Amino acid sequence: MKDFACCSIATIREGLRVGEFTAREVAEQSIARIEAIDPTINAFLETTPEAALAQADQVDAAITAGNFDTLGSLAGVPVAFKDNMNQKGTHTTCASRMLENYVSPYTATCVQQVIDAGALPLGKLNMDEFAFGSTTESSAFGTTKNPWNTAHVPGGSSGGSAAAVAAGMASLTLGSDTGGSIRQPGSFCGVVAVKPTYGVVSRYGVVAFGSSLDQVGPFTRTVHDAAVALNVLSGRDTKDCTSQQCTIDFTEGLDRGIEGMTIGIVPAFMEAEGLSHEVRSAVESAAEQLRSFGAQVVEVDLPHAAAAISAYYVLGPCEAFSNLSRFDSVRYGYRDPGHTDLGSQYEASREKGFGLEARRRIMLGSYLLSAGVYDTYYYPAQQIRTLITQDYKQAYEKVDCILAPVAPRTAFRFGELSDPTSMYLSDMFTISINIAGNGGMNMPVGLGKESGLPVGVQLIAPAFHDENMLRVAAALEVAYGSAPIAPDFANQKAGA
């Protein structure tokens, strides 16, 4: 039996085209593989076999009718979605007790685009509650395990999305990134993970954490697959005023090489306190590879990047406080029983419905937006945001792409970082990209020499020039290869 969820998009499409297998076989084997593997990983919060089989039958009917060329670019591809993305008829819980029983009445634009392209929807994926976290430990429904070592975290908040691809349970998953929540789990789990420029992908139907920071992006095992997914996801959506028209074919230029490109290195990132030796070595090795391919590697300065974490943990909680205010136990969300007055019902419902990290960020956001505090913190944070954005703009006058670490270290053990401040610092290299709105991605570059766990490098593109980082990633893929399935699951067959 073929493990189709371990296959690339191109492999699946070619197999369907020549009649090597059917889309229904892809769906059935993918569902069976999830049933066999996910009890160990806990990447899925809900599976949707009926939807996957129904979509597969439509794909097969089109092929039988001789209409293969009319099918979308994701026809027959097993996919899954982070559980903050609405899909009609499924639970959209955001991994929170607050939304445990909520069933989506509509479908998010990004989910609909993928389904319309012919993909087989396998289910919804685990995450940190409301995307607050870097490990999936804040999920109300149990943690997701890292397929490379189940004693280690998969990263977060899109930990389920990264782990599902790393374990070969889906060829493509979607995640969301507010401060590194695509790139960091992509690095920890050793998969290609792309956060496009803010506005490239519609956010309509994605439960918001920080509305000015959130962006949806794909997890895959090859750069080409990520580019195909971005072609499907990108574009103007009339339901999202922040989305932008996009006419780029992200697959073009992937095989052009990078000779003549200029790649930037940020010395402050490479000298940052807490950056492990194996991560620094991986970035330096990647830089040497890029030089060998004909790129020029130069130093660039981002003088205000050190203030990014401080600004983010003002802006993020403020926007989270605003976005979570709708969960009031009256319109929808968890309602604590037995209360005779609205005030006590509201207080008890939010206390029991939200987890510790969600309550922490709500309280922080409430304080930061209060009278007398707003001018002290929120307004200066927005000023820092402007300065960081200007820093990146000036850097891109000299370079086509920036190479940097993704996380200070490889995946750590569960419980190893119990202090919230230490956990927040794990996003020290990713947050500034969300603040500026640029595109960024993780490219896996092998295993750390000390940890034996995946290491990724971050590629950062100018705003609305995400093709630059994909082109550089494709060059690195020539040197390092595409992302492998985690060894413990590489040979595990569906139903085994």
> Within this chain, do residues 263 and 133 fall inside the same structural domain, yes or no?
yes
> Within this chain, do residues 188 and 40 fall inside the same structural domain, yes or no?
yes
The tokens for 449 are: 């020499």
β-strand partners of 215: 177
The tokens for 61 are: 């009917």
Please report the pLDDT score of residue 492 as a whole number. Answer: 72
> Within this chain, do residues 149 and 78 fall inside the same structural domain, yes or no?
yes
Please report the pLDDT score of residue 495 as a whole number. Answer: 52
Return the percent helix, strand and coil in the chain, to nearest 5. 45, 15, 45
> Within this chain, do residues 470 and 375 fall inside the same structural domain, yes or no?
no
> Within this chain, do residues 232 and 194 fall inside the same structural domain, yes or no?
yes
- Cα 194 from Cα 95, distance rounded (Å): 22
Residue 1 lies in a domain: no
Residue 387 lies in a domain: no
User: Running along the chain, 496 residues long, what does each successive block of 10 average in pLDDT?
Assistant: 84 95 96 97 98 98 96 97 98 98 97 98 98 96 98 97 97 98 98 98 97 98 98 97 94 96 97 94 98 98 95 96 93 91 94 95 95 93 97 98 97 85 80 97 97 98 98 98 95 61
Please report the pLDDT score of residue 147 as a whole number. Answer: 98
- Cα 419 from Cα 423, distance rounded (Å): 6
Please report the pLDDT score of residue 90 as a whole number. Answer: 98
Known catalytic residues are 82, 157, 181
- 475-479 contacts: CB < 8 A, separation 24 or more? 475/257, 475/258, 475/289, 475/290, 475/293, 475/295, 476/286, 476/289, 476/290, 476/443, 476/445, 477/222, 477/223, 477/443, 478/293, 479/289, 479/293
Q: At which of 353, 382, 411 does a domain end? A: 382
> Within this chain, do residues 422 and 311 fall inside the same structural domain, yes or no?
no
> Within this chain, do residues 122 and 234 fall inside the same structural domain, yes or no?
yes
Output the CA angle 12-13-15, nearest 5 degrees.
65
Domain that holds residue 160: 9-67+74-268+279-300+393-489
- Cα 455 from Cα 410, distance rounded (Å): 6
Residue 273 lies in a domain: no
Residue 2 lies in a domain: no
Residue 64: strand, helix, or coil: helix
How many of the other CB atoms lie within 10 Å of CB of 106? 14
CATH number of domain containing 203: 3.90.1300.10
Residue 274 lies in a domain: no
Q: At which of 382, 413, 436 does a domain end? A: 382
> Within this chain, do residues 336 and 192 fall inside the same structural domain, yes or no?
no
> Within this chain, do residues 415 and 372 fall inside the same structural domain, yes or no?
no
Q: Please report the DSSP string for 133-147 in residue order.
A: -SSSTT-TT-PPPBT
Largest interatomic CA distance in the chain: 72
Residue 3 lies in a domain: no
> Within this chain, do residues 289 and 183 fall inside the same structural domain, yes or no?
yes
Q: At which of 382, 401, 418 does a domain end? A: 382
Provide the number of structural domains found in the chain.
Answer: 2
> Within this chain, do residues 215 and 172 fall inside the same structural domain, yes or no?
yes
- The CA R_g of the chain, rounded to the nearest whole Å, is 21
Pairing of strands 262-265, 296-299: parallel
Please report the pLDDT score of residue 1 as a whole number. Answer: 53
Please report the pLDDT score of residue 493 as a whole number. Answer: 61
> Within this chain, do residues 158 and 264 fall inside the same structural domain, yes or no?
yes
Residue 418 lies in a domain: yes
Residue 194 lies in a domain: yes
